[in-house]
Structure 1
Amino acid sequence: MKRISILTALIFTTKLMFGQSYTLKSPNGILVANIDLKDRLTYSLSCNGNAIVEPSGIAMRTSAFAESDFFGEHTATFNSKNQAVKLLWGTTKEIDENFNQLKLNYSNGLSVEFRCYNEGFAWRVVSAFDREVIVYNETSEFNIPYSSTVYFPEVKGFLTPFEVNYLPKSMQTIADGTLGLTPFMYKTPSGELVVISESNLFEYPGMFIRKDAGNSVKAVFPLYPKKEKQELPGRLHLVKWPQISRMVVKKTENYIAKSNGNRSYPWRVVMVAQNDAEILQNSLVYLLADEPKMDFGWVKPGKVVWDWYHNWNLQGVEFKPGINTQTYKYMVDFAANNGIEYINIDDGWAKLWNFKKVNPNLDLKEIIDYANSKGVKVFIWAMWNTIEKDFTANLDMFSQLGVAGIKVDFFDRADQRIVDFVNKLADECAKRNLLLNLHGMYKPTGINRTFPNIVNIEGVLGLEYNKFSDKCTPVHNLTIPFVRNVVGPMDYTPGSMRHVTPEQFVKSWENPHSMTNRAQQMAMYIVYHGGVQMLADSPTLYQKDSIALNFLSGVPVTWEKTIALEGKVGESIAVARKHGDKWYIGCMTANHEHDFNLNLNLLDDREYKMTIIAEGNSDDELVLSSKRIGKNDKQSFKVKPRSGLVIILE
């Protein structure tokens, strides 16, 4: 049921000596935003009276309006909305969207919209100019409460793969001028967990953050590129991809964005949770994005057999494994025999800069035809700038080949040119019924709502780092669900079947091991979410573990309902998700043992079979058990460090 009310009077308004202020509350009254117009436009936000964001500025300097216009003469309107939003795929079938809104309308065609949800606060700038507008700078400040613990995703510059650790720090230990990514997370002294990000990113650069003096964090944006050059990415030049290069910005314009001035700019989003687990069900980034403009009923989420992580390492086969037809036919058979929807053909299938020069050991048509005959579809990997070289012809080629989707890689930027390309790519792929999995990519900004054919996005330090780094730690695995996965689908690529302790860990390109055991890797398929989920390790390893393989064959990737049962950033998490008549619960620990005390009041009144997949006598052993339970039964499980637990209720 959709309810909209509009009050054109300036209600909830207090006149001040030097300006006006407005109060905007969440529907449940817990969040309160104060918008003030004195010598500049500022906002502040509180939760149950506790400071979330202290007074912080909002402005934009453009060719059509100046920063001073944001606190000039205006009118104000309030409205509210309460409606149900249905999802094509995701963590739930339906989201309740309920907010109160304030809109400040200036006489020059500029306006600012503020929304207060129970789950957070957001604002955006809207302009009505029938001419091109150049944006030179945007002011979006986040002055966080003193003594907050921040998880600052530090980067060295705007050229980045968007793959970082989120490490807890005090603001005082972060040097002024330090650059970071969004989403950005912090915990207030009163215990609220806050995630800052953005939504509905079109014709504009992605938002980074910069630490300023005191407790101030400010949004910063890459300038529009003027000159680019292909260069070797630093993160791969010492390993096995010396031929890869990415497009590096060498010169820039003096502005961040250029577009038609009759538009809305991206939402700035402050997500708020009263405890760590609550943030796991926050959907503001999705809700604030544009609805899809075409039919996406053809989109089919699923799991993917991956080749690259395990280096095409098939054990005990009667052919030489590698980038060849026999290997991919084997992967197709494995997928078909185990109900897995897709296989992935990664780097090496063709010359990087010429898709017509296919690897002579590979018969693409034969593989794709064979996969189709088995009911399996194919993803194929490509560099974004190779696609761009002959954009329409290359997309037509992929469509005519019969692939289901493209895994597009090495964007490594978020300036407006890249953002424009990503949106154009999503639109043109949708017209050809092509799915997209975006790697080397900035975080989701609700684009998976506007283009549901974007079934996953990397933008995370994932399992692949075990090949060339020691950064994929247990604490990292237990941090990213609370910050990176909150803003949208996340292609971490779980499923490692080989495990060592952090003390034993040695990076290995040929033989990567994870620092968390097999039980945790299985739990990731429930705790982490994305429209396609990779099976990262070798099919021959999965075939040696019937418990793991049976679970991976049946676990869904899209859900009808999600309930966060408990969680503490960097330490432990338990998430329940429903698909059909089954509930799946995933539990994970970091460096310490944890007792999970689960109240199963999410069930109906029927009797249920509980199947439990847990750690066995060794780290890489799984054990299976089952029992009968009913609604409101309380179940307790002790889970060891760096481990996990899977529960299936049916």
Structure 2
Amino acid sequence: MKRISILTALIFTTDLLFGQSYTLKSPNGILVANIDLKDRLTYSLSCNGNAIVEASGIAMRTSAFAESDFLGKHTATFNSKNQAVKLLWGTTKEIDENFNQLKLNYSNGLSVEFRCYNEGFAWRVVSAFDREVIVYNETSEFNIPNSATVYFPEVKGFLTPFEVNYLPKSMQTIADGTLGLTPFMYKTPSGELVVISESNLFEYPGMFIRKDAGNSVKAVFPLYPKKEKQELPGRLHLVKWPQISRMVVKKTENYIAKSNGNRSYPWRVVMVAQNDAEILQNSLVYLLADEPKMDYGWVKPGKVVWDWYHNWNLQGVEFKPGINTQTYKYMVDFAANNGIEYINIDDGWAKLWDFKKVNPNLNLKEVIDYANSKGVKVFIWAMWNTIDKDFTANLDMFSKLGVAGIKVDFFDRADQRIVDFVNKLADECAKRNLLLNLHGMYKPTGINRTFPNIVNIEGVLGLEYNKFSDKCTPVHNLTIPFVRNVVGPMDYTPGSMRHVTPEQFVKSWENPHSMTTRAQQMAMYIVYHGGVQMLADSPTLYQKDSIAQNFLSGVPVTWDKTIALEGKVGESIAVARKHGDKWYIGCMTANQEHDFNFNFNLNLNLLDDREYKMTIIAEGNSDDELVLSSKRIGKNDRQNFKVKPRSGLVIILE
């Protein structure tokens, strides 16, 4: 995680009054931000002269400063930085961070920092007050160019699982006042793809958006909770146990945040790509987050055998499968025999509100000890508010049990109370060498950089929706890599081994099917990324398909290098990732057949003048069949692959 500074250059500082304008360019000159302080503080952004964001306001109203203070007397400081950032785990070993920065320093302890990267633009408010500061409101506007296509992630309120479809619309078809999540994506009339999100979220609520008049989108935030109540969720379809509930905010304060006033507020991030594929390699959310403050060398990414999606459905075994000792030992054996690092023990292992009341059919300590003896580690599921009831004692209990990580669920909020809890949880788990997989959770905000023990985050409409909904469509699968996965790790939980066409699809709790082929499910392990990846379906189904089983045994989850080969939102994608001496390429299609045409020398920079072994995993004669083939190729050979609708392709070069 060491940051290597290559260049830091102070350009100039000047003392200026009202009405000043500034221009800030990306290092390559393609992105241009104009910051204006005439009637109010605004910014606009263009790419190659094309409008990305039109003049939009920035302000904050607090107990220490007001919106008008952003127009006050100030000094302006410009500087630049170019450095390499090393990752502990992720889609690459190293990221180049190169930006130009403008900082407006006001006389009252307030400042605003603007950064322009080749990949986008960001700003944040910074204050220097040695006292508590209450934030009543923040103004962060995003005025979108006319005729843009927007993928508005609509939600009904601030109480949400953060699991939505991203459907293309025009701004004119979205009612004023409609609430949405971030990340938020749109395509400009000139073809740029834009993703808006945030980074470095501490002591502050998560950012939502609201459609305003015309083409305006404004940031909005949940108020600070004053009173909470435990209630049954509207998501009872997710569980079979009616006692499950979540903490609902019943009363709020009249402010959104409170904290010590000597701080930096979260970054507002506008990621920009000149084509759809380019956005897949955008790392701004990660780069803008704080570095870790302790050693995380113990963090081990890997794959996880999951129990919940297939409803503990093991076929042909000599015991009754379910939440019991025999089932989890079977899962451990499957993991150990296939080089899978983890198993997951999900909901039902104990009473939701008392971890000491373990399911009588499950000898939890025996399973954990058995797993450890086989070299397999255990994730265990828990409600966040159950952990919170006796925070320290519960974390100590999990640590003493010998689990490797906790899958914490049902946050369903992003107010400051929840954000503070998540950051505290990550820090305290790190002190105990515990990993975290966060579900029912807001999107990543660079938290996986600050706390690398957060190895995955849900915040996505994933494979589990096949149990109770028809929303997990092929188009959805081909949209989320360009928006949700761009901001950080994404626990979609791939690996379905049972498939039907969208026309044949029927939701099923006991026997869920996906709408895409087995070949696409395999490709997801390359296209989607996270520090842990679930094997969602039953081990007995994987055992019946040696091609799938062998691939899942060997495919990595963390990478040395990533190259986006091609992509079009909602239609097709091809991503190449390198691990060691091997390249893995994942290709996916939505509702149309697609021809993928690669020159591996040009695409992957294969400089060695030798032959490579190319292994291909593709769709067979049916959606549920895989075929394996291999051949020798030269570095300059051009390869063409025709992939059917709703399908996928895996290519391995070595």
State the shift of 1:633 in Å.
2.0
- 1:34-86 per-position Cα deviation (integer Å, ceiling 9, x unaligned): 00001110000000000000000000000000000001100000000000000
Q: Is the 8 A contact 1:611 1:625 kept in 2?
A: yes
Structure 1 portions without partners, runs of 5+: none
Question: What is the match of residue 317 of structure 2?
Answer: 317
State the shift of 1:465 in Å.
0.2
State the shift of 1:243 in Å.
1.9
Distance 1:398 1:18, change over 3 A: closer
Question: What is the match of residue 620 of structure 1?
Answer: 624
State the shift of 1:238 in Å.
8.2
Distance 1:309 1:103, change over 3 A: same
Question: What is the match of residue 605 of structure 2?
Answer: 601
Hey, what's the Cα distance between the residues in 2 that align with 1:463 and 1:220?
A: 29
Distance 1:583 1:9, change over 3 A: closer
Distance 1:253 1:428, change over 3 A: same
Q: Is the 8 A contact 1:6 1:79 kept in 2?
A: no
Distance 1:113 1:600, change over 3 A: closer
Hey, what's the Cα distance between the residues in 1 that align with 2:7 and 2:294?
A: 33
Hey, what's the Cα distance between the residues in 2 that align with 1:494 and 1:403?
A: 23
- 1:287-332 per-position Cα deviation (integer Å, ceiling 9, x unaligned): 0000000000000000000000000000000000000000000000
Hey, what's the Cα distance between the residues in 1 that align with 2:202 and 2:436?
A: 18
Distance 1:16 1:69, change over 3 A: closer
Distance 1:491 1:303, change over 3 A: same
State the shift of 1:401 in Å.
0.1
Partner SS, residue 19 of structure 1: coil
- 1:381-435 per-position Cα deviation (integer Å, ceiling 9, x unaligned): 0000000000000000000000000000000000000000000000000000000
Hey, what's the Cα distance between the residues in 1 that align with 2:363 and 2:40?
A: 63
Q: Is the 8 A contact 1:123 1:268 kept in 2?
A: yes
Could you tell me the TM-score, scaled by structure 1's length?
A: 0.97
Q: Is the 8 A contact 2:257 2:416 kept in 1?
A: yes
Hey, what's the Cα distance between the residues in 1 that align with 2:624 and 2:4?
A: 55
State the shift of 1:634 in Å.
1.4
Hey, what's the Cα distance between the residues in 2 that align with 1:642 and 1:352?
A: 38
Question: What is the match of residue 523 of structure 1?
Answer: 523
Distance 1:216 1:291, change over 3 A: same
Hey, what's the Cα distance between the residues in 2 that align with 1:606 and 1:20?
A: 59
Partner SS, residue 10 of structure 1: strand
Q: Is the 8 A contact 2:3 2:85 kept in 1?
A: no
Q: Is the 8 A contact 1:460 1:491 kept in 2?
A: yes
State the shift of 1:607 in Å.
1.6
State the shift of 1:551 in Å.
0.1
State the shift of 1:231 in Å.
1.1
Partner SS, residue 503 of structure 2: coil
State the shift of 1:241 in Å.
3.6
- 1:585-621 per-position Cα deviation (integer Å, ceiling 9, x unaligned): 0000000000099955445333210000000011100
Q: Is the 8 A contact 1:222 1:256 kept in 2?
A: yes
- 1:448-506 per-position Cα deviation (integer Å, ceiling 9, x unaligned): 00000000000000000000000000000000000000000000000000000000000
Distance 1:105 1:638, change over 3 A: same
Partner SS, residue 638 of structure 1: strand
Partner SS, residue 550 of structure 1: helix
Q: Is the 8 A contact 2:340 2:553 kept in 1?
A: yes
Aligned residues: 650
Q: Is the 8 A contact 2:613 2:633 kept in 1?
A: yes
- 1:228-275 per-position Cα deviation (integer Å, ceiling 9, x unaligned): 111111122586242211000000000000000000000000000000
Could you tell me the TM-score, scaled by structure 2's length?
A: 0.97
Q: Is the 8 A contact 2:13 2:75 kept in 1?
A: no
Distance 1:390 1:624, change over 3 A: same
Hey, what's the Cα distance between the residues in 1 that align with 2:237 and 2:334?
A: 33
State the shift of 1:7 in Å.
13
- 1:516-573 per-position Cα deviation (integer Å, ceiling 9, x unaligned): 0100000000000000000000000000000000000000000000000000000000
Structure 1 segments (4+ residues) deviating >4 Å: 1-18, 596-600
Hey, what's the Cα distance between the residues in 1 that align with 2:236 and 2:175?
A: 28
Question: What is the match of residue 82 of structure 2?
Answer: 82
Hey, what's the Cα distance between the residues in 1 that align with 2:322 and 2:151?
A: 40
State the shift of 1:16 in Å.
11
Distance 1:447 1:87, change over 3 A: same
Distance 1:364 1:8, change over 3 A: closer
- 1:332-387 per-position Cα deviation (integer Å, ceiling 9, x unaligned): 00000000000000000000000000000000110011001100000000000000
Question: What is the match of residue 145 of structure 2?
Answer: 145
The RMSD of aligned alpha carbons is: 2.1
Query: Structure 1 stretch 601-610 or stretch 226-235: which is displaced more?
Result: 601-610
Hey, what's the Cα distance between the residues in 1 that align with 2:276 and 2:511?
A: 35
Hey, what's the Cα distance between the residues in 1 that align with 2:334 and 2:376?
A: 10
Hey, what's the Cα distance between the residues in 2 that align with 1:523 and 1:540?
A: 20
Hey, what's the Cα distance between the residues in 2 that align with 1:97 and 1:498?
A: 42
- 1:72-118 per-position Cα deviation (integer Å, ceiling 9, x unaligned): 10000000000000000000000000000000000000000000000
Q: Is the 8 A contact 1:114 1:122 kept in 2?
A: yes
Question: What is the match of residue 646 of structure 1?
Answer: 650
State the shift of 1:164 in Å.
0.1
Partner SS, residue 122 of structure 2: strand
Q: Is the 8 A contact 1:597 1:635 kept in 2?
A: no
After TM superposition, the structure 1 = structure 2 runs for residues 285-364 of structure 1, keeping only pairs within 5 Å, are 285-364=285-364
Q: Is the 8 A contact 1:339 1:553 kept in 2?
A: yes
Query: Structure 1 stretch 592-601 or stretch 284-293: which is displaced more?
Result: 592-601
Q: Is the 8 A contact 2:13 2:76 kept in 1?
A: no
State the shift of 1:12 in Å.
8.9
Hey, what's the Cα distance between the residues in 2 that align with 1:2 and 1:147?
A: 43
Q: Is the 8 A contact 2:6 2:82 kept in 1?
A: no
Identical counterparts, % of pairs: 97
Distance 1:548 1:2, change over 3 A: closer
State the shift of 1:631 in Å.
1.7
Hey, what's the Cα distance between the residues in 2 that align with 1:225 and 1:600?
A: 50
Distance 1:590 1:603, change over 3 A: farther
Hey, what's the Cα distance between the residues in 1 that align with 2:352 and 2:294?
A: 32
Partner SS, residue 464 of structure 1: helix
State the shift of 1:630 in Å.
2.0
Question: What is the match of residue 58 of structure 1?
Answer: 58
Partner SS, residue 185 of structure 1: strand
Distance 1:238 1:554, change over 3 A: closer
Distance 1:146 1:262, change over 3 A: same
- 1:126-145 per-position Cα deviation (integer Å, ceiling 9, x unaligned): 00000000000000000010
Partner SS, residue 635 of structure 1: strand
Query: Structure 1 stretch 40-49 or stretch 241-250: which is displaced more?
Result: 241-250
After TM superposition, the structure 1 = structure 2 runs for residues 522-601 of structure 1, keeping only pairs within 5 Å, are 522-595=522-595, 599-601=603-605
Distance 1:8 1:367, change over 3 A: closer
Q: Is the 8 A contact 2:10 2:79 kept in 1?
A: no
Distance 1:61 1:8, change over 3 A: farther
Partner SS, residue 602 of structure 2: strand
Distance 1:49 1:545, change over 3 A: same
Q: Is the 8 A contact 1:351 1:358 kept in 2?
A: yes
Query: Structure 1 stretch 238-247 or stretch 403-412: which is displaced more?
Result: 238-247
Partner SS, residue 333 of structure 2: helix
Distance 1:403 1:13, change over 3 A: closer
Q: Is the 8 A contact 2:378 2:404 kept in 1?
A: yes
Distance 1:37 1:442, change over 3 A: same
Hey, what's the Cα distance between the residues in 2 that align with 1:78 and 1:10?
A: 6
Hey, what's the Cα distance between the residues in 2 that align with 1:346 and 1:131?
A: 43
Hey, what's the Cα distance between the residues in 2 that align with 1:73 and 1:428?
A: 42
Distance 1:269 1:131, change over 3 A: same
- 1:159-198 per-position Cα deviation (integer Å, ceiling 9, x unaligned): 0000000000000000000000000000000000000000
Question: What is the match of residue 274 of structure 2?
Answer: 274
Q: Is the 8 A contact 1:6 1:80 kept in 2?
A: no
Distance 1:302 1:567, change over 3 A: same
Partner SS, residue 298 of structure 1: coil
After TM superposition, the structure 1 = structure 2 runs for residues 146-545 of structure 1, keeping only pairs within 5 Å, are 146-237=146-237, 240-545=240-545
Partner SS, residue 136 of structure 1: strand
